[in-house]
């Protein structure tokens, strides 16, 4: 389905590549005009916008370093100016790397907690007036199995995702009844490019389904939350092959 000029607008942070790109493509197909936020992946963002347009949709790429408050503010100013509205915020941008206990440096903590928790909070705060004005505004946060089962070698990332889970519930309460706030919690859907074979096998073995998922599994769940029953708020849907209960 192509998006009309008055179609609802979705902003997907970290939307240029990998899981964020799949979410962008799926939301565009579902009729949203999509703002593809990126930081370093300018070329990938341009390709994602082109792919949306080639499929008959509408998209726009906007850059911001979400570790910088002024850039977050600039991003939402640009969304309001370029689109005049915002109906859905998907907080997907994230830093993710191992930080074994005993070796964690403060800048790593700041980056992992900054991208996975602080930025989603301030994005939500800045999005809120636009989402309220929409009349059917929504936020979907992208968590991780680590939010409820912390990965020992990834503690700053895990506690940031646990905070994002609490933020999902807190925002659902703070923004009710006007704005709904839900989350998806992926398991291994697209492992980091630098993972070796043993790390890949361990991640897949930890699931009940004994296989990796796909970015499209996450994207379809985001579309379900965005376009499905509107009696869901504060809900968290695991898309993890059963990893969280294994
Ligand atoms: N992949 C999985 O299997 C998996 C599993 C569980 C949970 N998740 C969650 O799903 C989401 C997407 O996963 P992914 O693997 O696609 O993520 P990713 O590739 O690790 O990162 C997504 C994007 O985040 C952006 N980003 C990082 N730091 C940023 C900053 N300071 N400012 C602005 N943007 C920044 C990057 O944009 P640029 O490239 O433009 O710099 C990057 O492309 C994440 O929230 C992740 O935690 C993924």
Q: Which 3 state secondary structure label does DSSP give 151?
A: coil
- How many angstroms separate the alpha carbon of residue 14 from the centre of ligand 1? 6
93 lines ligand 1 (CB under 6 A): yes
pLDDT given for residue 84 in this prediction: 96
The answer to whether the CB of 139 falls within 8 A of the CB of 171 is yes
Q: Which atom, in ligand 1's list, is nearest to the CA of 40? A: 41
Q: 225-244 burial string, b = 16+ CB within 10 Å, else e?
A: bbeeeeeebebbbbbbbebb
Residue 1 lies in a domain: no
Answer yes or no: is 131 within a domain.
Answer: yes
Give the per-residue pLDDT at 6: 87
Q: How many other β-carbons are positioned within 10 Å of the β-carbon of residue 202?
A: 11
The CATH number for 219's domain is 3.40.50.720
61 assigned to some structural domain = yes
What's the gap in Å between 6 CA and the centre of ligand 1?
A: 29
41: CA distance to ligand 1 center in Å? Answer: 11
Q: Is the CB of 20 under 6 A from ligand 1?
A: yes
For every one of its 246 residues, what pLDDT tens digit does the chain have, with 9 covering 90 and above?
A: 457 778 999 999 999 999 999 999 999 999 999 999 999 999 999 999 999 999 999 999 999 999 999 999 999 999 999 999 999 999 999 999 999 999 999 999 999 999 999 999 999 999 999 999 999 999 999 999 999 999 999 999 999 999 999 999 999 999 999 999 999 999 999 998 899 999 999 999 999 999 999 999 999 999 999 999 999 999 999 999 999 999
Q: Whose CA is nearest to atom 7 of ligand 1?
A: 144
Domain count, the chain: 1
- Does residue 44 fall inside a structural domain? yes
38 part of the active site: no
Which of these is catalytic: 38, 154, 157, 231? 157
Looking up tokens 């179609």 gives 7
CB of 137 closer than 6 angstroms to any ligand 1 atom: no
- The arrangement of strands across the sheet holding 88-91 comes to 59-63, 33-38, 9-12, 88-91, 138-142, 180-186, 236-239
Longest dimension (CA), the chain: 53
Residue 2 forms part of a structural domain: no
Q: Strand runs (DSSP E) across 59-147, as ranges?
A: 59-63, 88-91, 138-142
The domain in which residue 131 lies consists of 9-245
Q: How far is the CA of 17 from the centre of ligand 1 (A)?
A: 8
pLDDT at 5: 78
Q: Which atom of ligand 1 is nearest to the CA of 67?
A: 31
- Ligand 1 pocket check for 110: Cβ under 6 Å: no
Please work out whether the CB of residue 139 comes within 6 Å of at least one atom of ligand 1.
no
Is 4 part of any domain?
no
Does residue 76 fall inside a structural domain?
yes
Classify residue 171: in a domain, yes or no. Answer: yes
CA 26 from centroid of its chain's CA atoms: 13
How far apart are the CA of 94 and the centre of ligand 1, in A? 4
Please work out whether the CB of residue 171 comes within 6 Å of at least one atom of ligand 1. no
């Amino acid at each position: 389905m192509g998006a009309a000029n008055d179609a609802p607008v979705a902003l997907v942070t970290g939307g240029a590549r990998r899981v964020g790109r799949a979410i962008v493509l799926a939301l565009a197909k579902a009729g949203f005009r999509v703002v593809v936020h990126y930081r370093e992946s300018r070329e990938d963002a341009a390709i994602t916008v082109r792919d949306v347009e080639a499929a008959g949709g509408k998209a726009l790429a906007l850059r911001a370093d979400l570790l910088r408050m002024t850039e977050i503010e600039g991003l939402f100013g640009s969304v309001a100016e370029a689109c005049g509205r915002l109906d859905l915020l998907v907080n997907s941008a994230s830093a993710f790397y191992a930080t074994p206990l005993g070796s964690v440096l403060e800048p790593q903590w700041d980056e992992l907690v900054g991208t996975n928790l602080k930025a989603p909070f301030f994005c939500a705060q800045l999005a809120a007036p636009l989402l309220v004005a929409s009349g059917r505004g929504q936020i979907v946060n992208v968590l991780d199995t680590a939010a409820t089962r912390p990965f020992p070698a990834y503690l700053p990332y895990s506690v940031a995702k646990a905070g994002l889970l609490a933020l999902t519930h807190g925002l659902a309460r703070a923004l009710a009844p006007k704005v709904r706030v839900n989350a998806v919690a992926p398991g291994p859907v697209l492992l980091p490019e630098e993972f070796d074979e043993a790390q890949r096998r361990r991640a897949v073995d930890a699931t009940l389904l004994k296989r990796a998922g796909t970015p499209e599994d996450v994207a379809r769940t985001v579309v379900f939350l965005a376009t499905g029953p509107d009696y869901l708020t504060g809900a968290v849907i695991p898309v993890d092959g059963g990893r969280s209960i294994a």
